[in-house]
Amino acid sequence: MAERVRIGSRPSQLALAQAGLIKQELERRCPGLTCELVEIRTTGDKLTTPSLAQVGGKGLFVRELEQALEARQIDLAVHSMKDLPSELDDSFRLAAIPVREVTADMLIGVTGGLAGLPQRARLGTSSLRRKFEALRVRSDLEVVPLRGNVDTRLARLEQGDFDAVILAAAGLARLGRRLGVPSSVLPEDDFVPSGGQGALAIEALAEMPVAGARELERALLAMDDSRTRCETTAERTFLTAIGASCASPVGVRATAGDNSLMVRALLFSLDGAHSMTEAVALPGPPTLANALAAGTDLAERMLARGAGDLLGSNGDGGRG
């Protein structure tokens, strides 16, 4: 058994908290193993532009971690699943996808959802998807770009820069944040989350070059949650098949029940002027085969209705 495993993570507080959860679980499952967190600053962390869509999307949070894997500087990389491009290079694999956290978005600063905001309220978010979903419900809102870590965003809300901000509920839960301001969970009927939202991805090389990796592989296999893998596989399959890039304003949510798998998507044109929604449901226990079929079927239905024209030239096969 390898005595030390190096886990790569972005240096943000949330990313380190998420990687720390994986570290603790691996050490619990593999007595004698020590996991070291290796902070790797990505291009996305260095940029200050208000919108990542302008400079390449969320894939900017992944590339340096994958380069570190290839250079054998780390053995595993922990990502927020929604930051991963929907297709991985053949050199990499998803070694484990742990149990998913909540997938919903939260509106911070007011109770009662968007209806609780005053007319022409200033709403902060860095996500085109969230922007267009909010304007679809409340066209009067002024949606202002907002980047930074969770504490930075909450601080700007408290300073009065915004009437409310939208954050992923999963990040707040993993940080253990107790909000000192009103908040409400946004309904997923209106705010379909990003593909993979609430899930973590443990990425490794296709052939893990770790001495004594067999026991580590068993631990990773035990950490893998079949329901979460099915849901995220359906979502990522849809994103690839629809031609969405990391910057596309697309929400997709798969829900695996005991005897069904449902996938619903909401996408927008690049200017937010037009939207399209669709859902498919497959009966039977959720399997990876069903997940692939459901994601593909949903994409084909939406493409037949003109989804490709809505996404325009932004589709790039999901590499972001």
Active-site residue identified among 45, 75, 83, 297 = 83
Beta-carbon contacts of residue 293 (< 8 Å; ≥ 6 apart) = 282
Distance CA 81, CA 94 (A): 10
Is residue 182 within 8 Å of 109, Cβ to Cβ? yes
The answer to whether residue 83 is catalytic is yes
One-letter identity of residue 203: E
Closest CA to 265 of 289, 230, 241: 241
Based on the number of CB atoms within 10 Å of its own CB, is 116 exposed (0-12), middle (13-18) or buried (19 or more)?
middle
Distance CA 292, CA 52 (A): 29
Give me the DSSP letters along 116-165.
GSPTT-EEE-S-HHHHHHHHHH-TT-EEE---S-HHHHHHHHHTTS-SEE
71: which 2 tokens? Answer: 């250079």
**Three-class secondary structure assignment of 228-251:** HHHHHHHHHHHHHHHCCCCCCCEE
Characterize 56-92 residue by residue with b for buried, 16 or more Cβ atoms within 10 angstroms of its Cβ, and e for exposed.
bbbbbbbebbbebbeeeebbbbbbbbbbbbbebeeeb
Backbone torsions φ then ψ of 185, nearest 5 degrees: -80, 130
| Residues with a known catalytic role | 83
